[in-house]
Each structure stands twice: as structure tokens, then as C-alpha cells.
Amino acid sequence: MFGEGCFYRKIFEDWLNYHDINIENKMTLNTLDGILGCVEAGLGIAFLPMSVLNKGNSDGIEITKVEESFQTISLNIIYRQDNKNNNVINQLKQVAFEKMKSNIIK
């Protein structure tokens, strides 16, 4: 994630706090290429807008759409495709799915 003061970092941290998800080891990176590279290497997950992922740089990355009533932009959880059995990733995906489902039903 980007450093303190980054708009996307704030939304990501708010979303995690809202769902009582604690991630102990956080990496701060200064470029989107660095963030995507770490995700592609299986070193972590990220919250990014789809516009970043539509530039042909999402090979090998799984994308889960996040729908939340408190956010003002569309974000996606991304992670390396072979990390599908990771507990934190599964917890994040479950929360995203449940929230998206509840928003569709309303």
C-alpha cells in the first residue's frame, strides 16, 4: 500500500477496520508497479481501482470486486491466483461477497 495520507490506503484501512480484519505485516510501497509486483509475487494483497488493472498488467492476478455503501469509488481486492487458499484472502473475499450480496438484495 502507499504511505500515510494516501486516499486508497485510508479506504483500505477503513474497510479492514469496519470488518474487524487485522493484517499485522503491512508493506509501504511508492509505486503502482511495486504494489502490482508484490501481488504478482504472492507477497500480499492490495485494494486498487479497476482502471489500474485494465492496462494489461493483471495477468496472474485474481480480482474480487468490493461493493461497500461507505466508499465513494469502486475498488477491487487483488492477489496472486495461486494464493486462493490463503486464510486472510478468503476472509476478505467472503466479507466482500456478503456485502455485495446484501447490497444487491436491498
Please give the pLDDT value at position 29: 86
Query: Domains in the chain, start-ordered, CATH in brackets?
Result: 7-105 (3.40.190.10)
Query: pLDDT tens for residues 25-68?
Result: 888 888 888 888 888 888 888 888 777 776 666 677 888 777 65
Query: pLDDT tens for residues 16-32?
Result: 888 888 888 888 888 88
Rg, Å, the chain Cα set:
13
Please give the pLDDT value at position 97: 73
Euclidean distance between CA atoms 18 and 34, whole angstroms? 27
Query: pLDDT tens for residues 85-100?
Result: 888 888 888 887 776 6
Cβ-in-10-Å burial (0-12, 13-18, 19+) of 87 comes to exposed
Query: Alpha-carbon torsion 16, 28, 8, 61, what sign?
Result: negative
